[in-house]
Structure 1
Amino acid sequence: MEILPPKHPRLLLLTIFLLTGTEYLQSGMIAFGAGPIMGEIGAAPEEFSLISALYACVAVAAICKQRWLAERLGWRRFVLCSLAVFICGAAVCASSETTAQFMAGRIVMALGGGTFMTSSRLLVNLFPPSPSRFTGIRFFATALALGSASGPFLASVAVSNDGWQWIFVLLIGLAVLIALLACLCLPAAVPPYELRTQSHPVLLMALVAGSFFLLYAFQRSYYDFYSDAAMLLGAAGLGMLALGYFVRAMHAGDRPLLHLRELRNTRYLTGVALFTFCYTLMGATNYIMPAVLQRGLGYAWATIGPVQATGLGATVLTWAFMAFVVPKRPAPKQYYLVGFLALAVFGWRVASLSPDANLWSDFVPALACYGVFVMLVLATTAMHTFREVQHHETVFSHAQQVKNMLAQFGSSLGIALATAGLQARTASHYTVLNGRFMAGDPAYGQALHALTESLSRHGAAQPAAVAAASLAQSLGQQATLLAGLDYFWLLGYVGLAGAGIMLAQRVLK
């Protein structure tokens, strides 16, 4: 698509920044506020995981059609339409009182907002190859880092003031601001008909159905595997067949919806696989972290948000470091090695936390290592994955679309695995711990007696019953904490294995 140079470069840079920031802000805020949102709308963890899967499926479809729509509407109308749909979805979410209403809102949000990150990265190419384009990339990456770091803090402010709906009100405000900027700086031109990509509704249906069946099979595997394994395997099989049909169709024709043939090079495939893996880890980690800190360690939401934001501020500092150092030392292995070792340190450091841990002195440095991992690995992969496709504008656009489609799939998969894994490990630890909560156990008897006496001295009504309930609550809290720590032990070993693999690989270099 032939694109005219930008008439208002500063406004375009701000548009790119806000589009990217809004995408990462909304994912970070909703992941952080998952617990309170589930409580307010009456959603079980598996229902929230299903909502995430549906969001990902619709977002994948929207990203797939992103260029097709932009070619027919022009950048300005396409972005404005996306923002309008996103605003409608956010308004539905903000007014939701039931799981079904919230699910509908998230689906509409995905239809409009699923393309934000892809659009913002492609808008960078409105700048001609020059230092201006690198400036656009810097705005894009800085928004990624700031959005990731700000999400937990802003969500904690909303949640701690009993107003989780303000998460979506903030997103609506940002979308309105972006719409005003888009009206001023985005081009309205469309390419000639003969240069436009082609599509067919059956192919889109195959993509959506395949993505949903696969994610649904993963999401329900913990709950229904033993009771209905045939159904789950059938769903997974249908998903793979539908996606296989879609991929095969993309290899036919001169102007397919996605140029997959041109993307079959080892560098791109390796980079996209690494992207998907990282987004899966991030989806799982962003879900489990607040659960461990709030339900496991008992910290208030108002305390957790600033702590997470401070720790994740390392993403901003890491990007500033990379922007200065990478032009002088571009070899990626050193960044991959440091990034995955930082992930290992993060996992093992959090896994070693005790109920007496101090969030600022113990958790913030660990979370800073996670921020280092996110920026070093994702930014390095972005710099090297698209090297062989960046000279063809259409192919580069399709490469970005495929990468972000898989990122949505990976994030939803991470949430599904984290939801099921956390419940499974919590149940396992609860069973073990519950064996000590019986009348004949000396430790339980001593704890119950001491707590009952303390409550009696403070004038509590029915101190024995209150003490027993308090100990039962402590049992659930300890089970959740141990389940979360299991995940972080695993994450440490994943980081160590990742460092070894990236040190040995010869593709991204």
Structure 2
Amino acid sequence: MSAPKHPHETGLLICIFLLNAIEFLQGGMITFASGPILGEIGASPEEFTFATAVYAVVAIAAISKQRWIIERIGWRGFVQASVVVFVIGAALCASSDSFPQYLGGRVVMGLGGGPFLTSARLIVQLIPPSPRRFRGILAFAGGLAIGNGSAPLLASLAVSHGDWSGIFVLLAAMAILAAVVASFTLPNQLVPAEKRSQAHPLMTLVMMGGAFLILYALLRASYDFYADAMPLVLAVLVGAGALLYFAMHQHGHERPLLVMKRLMIPRYLTGMAVFTLGYMVLGANNYMLPVLMQGGLGFPWEVIGQVQTAGLIVAAPTFAVMAMILKKNQSAKKFYVTGFTFLTLSGLVLMRLNPEAGLWSDVWPGIAIYGAFITPVMVTTALHSFMDLQGDEVAFANGQQLKNMLSQFGVSLGIAGAALGLQWRSSEHLSVLLQRFNGDDAAFSHAAGQLGEQFASSHGAQAPMAAIASLAQQLNQQAVLLSSLDYFGFLVALGVAGALLMMAQRVLK
């Protein structure tokens, strides 16, 4: 007997793919193109950090309310409304010529697009329980691999053609297509009033306040931590207290917004820890790879997008191989160990680079191995974390919501950690390098003399100053490169620790 088939299965698969791809595309493209966007809207890095934190908090709030809204307007209405809001936000961002308008656009995008990832995963559950549901997982994983992998290339193409707003136009077009398909495929049944969750508006505000304090403090730390650490540490502690209070309130409530009590399962909690770590690595690498290639090795911005995409897209064929193995053996441990081994190898390749490294011959292999890390770890966690929740529709949905709320934290924490580490290591390396940046050092004097002769015809009397400025630029580039290599050395340690830990654990088998 053939497995039952949903009457609109193809449409469901398209929705799943598009909604998930949009989530990973927008995160990757906006992070990669942050520099050009900053210049176009006249924003400072600190303001862009503020926008990142605000977007994440709004997205977390929207995700927390997702099931509450679906209970009242149905799946079809929810996706349609989300897309309308998201497109309005994208239009505001695309037409921005100032930071306030861009910030407003990102807030609106977060309200509409924050739940896209959760929606994609929950739509998989609309496919009848059978082997055919695995097609939904394939579509979901394909959106992750292709969205995350193609983001750098698409962002670099948009900016190199002088139209950074094309990033938001593409996102809006994909969202509109998803809404059109959803209009013909998604159900619109409502949940009876007596079974609906409660809104908990005050607790939602507490959660949002706590999330904002933590995220903004951590993102801001890359600018202010060494100068004024105490307020930032205090903000993190207060924010953590607010989130803990929210969790305890939800755990003890009879009709909570999120059924925390039913999620206190070892398999689920372990999976959430792995997910958060995975998203932290994702955010940190999205930040550090352009720093390495452009700031450390000096390659053109347009070219590094091609190399980064060519490496990250390896996640797609990796999943194709993984899918074939899953049909015969779904045990998790081998995928986790393989994934963290890939992370270790990626760090080993990238930490051994030198100033003469070639993009395709030396850098690309390391990025490609990292691309192979993403799929085994993230997809395996998605498959195994929710096994004990399959028979509880509400707990499964709330578990997905909480997971994707943590993903917003994870990405932001990864970016903040990478930026803070870069600042710390750059200052350390720069202080050592500066010891030789003086006229008493023979190598410095020789290099300055040679450059001065080269600049004499074009700069005249200013040639010595131009030579020193050029050497200072090279000095900063060397500090950035050394700091980047330190980061990828840290990834080696993380990969080894992750592989050993996943070999020893007995929860995600």
TM-score calculated relative to the size of structure 1: 0.95
Matching of residue 305 in structure 1 with residue 305 in structure 2: yes
For residues 508 and 210 of structure 1, what CA distance do their matches in structure 2 show? 30
- Identify the residue that residue 403 of structure 2 maps to in structure 1: 403
Distance in 2 of aligned mates of 1:19 and 1:446 = 58
Show CA shifts across 1:440-495 (max 9, x none): 221111111112223346x5554333322222221222221111111111111111
Match of 1:178 in 2: 178
Whole-angstrom distance in 2 between the partners of 1:341 and 1:323:
19
Q: 1:419 to 1:104 in 2, by over 3 A?
A: farther
Distance 2:254 2:501 in 1: 38
- Displacement, 1:237? 2.7
Q: 2:360 & 2:194 partners in 1: Cα distance?
A: 59
Q: Contact (CA 8 Å) 2:221, 2:416: kept in 1 or not?
A: no
| Alpha-carbon distance in 1 for matches of 2:177, 2:446 | 60
Superposition deviation, residue 259 in structure 1? 0.9
What is the deviation of 1:394? 1.2
Q: Tell me the equivalent position of 1:289.
A: 289
More moved, 401-410 vs 185-194 = 185-194
Question: What is the 5 A alignment of 1:99-114?
Answer: 99-114=99-114
Q: Provide the residue aligned with 1:212 in structure 2.
A: 212
- The match for 1:250 is 250
CA drift at 1:311: 0.9
Distance 1:227 1:486 in 2: 23
* Code of the aligned partner of 2:448: L
Residue of structure 2 in register with 1:51 after alignment: 51
Are the counterparts in 2 of residues 25 and 148 from structure 1 also a CA contact under 8 Å? yes
Out of 94-103 and 125-134, give the one that drifted further: 94-103
Corresponding position: 1:193 with 2:196: no
Cα offset for 1:318? Answer: 0.9
TM-align CA RMSD: 1.8
**Matched pairs, number:** 504
Q: For the residues of structure 1 that align with 2:49 and 2:344, how far apart are their CA atoms?
A: 26
User: Which letter does structure 1 place at the counterpart of 2:368?
Assistant: A
* 1:120 corresponds to 2:120: yes
Contact 1:159-1:301 within 8 A present in 2 as well = no
Q: Deviations over 1:84-130 (max 9, x none)?
A: 11112112222223333322222221111110000011111111112
Measure the CA separation in 2 of the matches of 1:175 and 1:424: 40
Pairing 1:17-416 to 2, within 5 Å after superposition: 17-225=17-225, 228-416=228-416
Q: Secondary structure at the match of 2:387?
A: coil
Q: Distance in 2 between matches of 1:46 and 1:506?
A: 43
Residues 38 and 315 (structure 1), Cα distance of their counterparts in 2 relative to 1, 3 Å cut:
same
Q: What's the CA shift string for 1:347-367, capped at 9, x where partnerless?
A: 121111112111112112111
Counterparts of 2:478 and 2:193, CA distance in 1: 62
Kept in 1: contact 2:89–2:105 (CA 8 A): yes
Q: Could you list the per-position Cα deviations for residues 200-258 of structure 1 after superposition, in whole angstroms to 9, with x for gaps in the alignment?
A: 21011011011111223323345444654443343223212211221112123433111
Instruction: State how far apart, in whole Å, the 2-side matches of 1:419 and 1:357 are.
Output: 23
Answer with 34-43 or 259-268: which moved more.
Answer: 34-43
Distance 1:434 1:43 in 2: 31
Q: Deviations over 1:252-309 (max 9, x none)?
A: 3433111111111111100101101111111111111111111111111221111111
- Give 1:171 shift: 0.9
SS at 2:254's partner residue?
coil
1:505 and 2:478 correspond: no
User: Offset of 1:336 from its aligned partner?
Assistant: 1.1
**Secondary structure, in 3 states, of the residue corresponding to 2:388?**
coil
Deviations, residues 11-56 of structure 1 (Å, cap 9, x unaligned)? 2211111111111111111121122223333434343333222211
Contact 1:49 1:416 in 2 (8 A): no
**Structure 1: distance between partners of 2:302 and 2:388:** 46
Kindly indicate whether the alpha-carbon contact (under 8 Å) linking 1:52 and 1:415 is maintained by their aligned counterparts in 2: no
| Whole-angstrom distance in 2 between the partners of 1:415 and 1:191 | 39
For structure 1, the residue ranges without an aligned partner over 5 or more in a row are none
Change (3 A) 1:39 1:487: farther
Contact residue 29 and residue 151 of structure 1 kept, 8 A: yes
Query: Which amino acid in the other structure matches residue 60 of structure 2?
Result: V
Q: For residues 45-92 of structure 1, what are the alpha-carbon distances to aligned partners after superposition, in whole Å with 9 as ceiling and x for unaligned? A: 343333222211111111100110111111111111111111121122
Q: 8 Å contact 1:385–1:508 — kept in the other structure?
A: yes
Identify the range of structure 1 (475-484 vs 375-384) with the bigger mean alpha-carbon deviation: 475-484
Percent of pairs with identical residues: 50
Shift of 1:424: 2.5
**Cα pair 1:23 1:117 within 8 Å, conserved:** yes
**Residue type at the aligned position of 1:384:** H
Alignment partners' CA distance in 2, 1:165 and 1:284: 24
Q: Give 1:414 deviation, angstroms.
A: 1.0
Which residue identity lines up with residue 77 of structure 2 in the other structure? R
**Greater CA deviation, 233-242 or 257-266?**
233-242
Whichever residue aligns with residue 405 of structure 1, its letter is M
Call closer, same or farther: CA 1:97–1:433 in 2, change over 3 Å: farther
Q: Does 1:420 align with 2:420?
A: yes
Residues 508, 399 of structure 1: alpha-carbon distance in 2 compared, 3 angstrom cutoff: same
Q: Is the 8 A contact 2:49 2:220 kept in 1?
A: no
**Residue 190 of structure 1: how far off its partner (Å):** 1.2
Task: In structure 2, give the amino acid aligned to 1:98.
Answer: S
CA drift of 1:312 comes to 1.1
For the 8 Å contact 1:45–1:419, the answer to whether it is kept is no
Alignment CA distance shift 1:187-1:159 (3 Å): same
Asked if the contact 1:151–1:309 (Cα under 8 Å) also holds between the matched residues in 2, the reply is yes
Q: 1:424 to 1:45 in 2, by over 3 A?
A: farther
**Counterpart contact for 1:6–1:186, Cα < 8 Å:** no
**Amino acid aligned to 1:76:** R
Q: Deviations over 1:172-201 (max 9, x none)?
A: 111222222122222222121112111221
Query: How far apart are 1:149 and its partner, in Å?
Result: 0.8
Is residue 2:429 matched to residue 1:429?
yes
Q: What is the CA deviation profile of residues 288-343 of structure 1, one whole-angstrom value per residue up to 9, with x for unaligned ones?
A: 11111111111112211111111112100111011100221222211111111110
Contact 2:80–2:179 (CA under 8 A) maintained in structure 1: yes
Partners of 1:297 and 1:42 lie apart in 2 by: 27
Please tell me the residue identity of whatever aligns with 1:202: L
Counterpart Cα distance in 2 of 1:256 and 1:419: 37
Residues 494 and 46 (structure 1 numbering): CA distance in 2 closer, same or farther, change over 3 Å?
farther
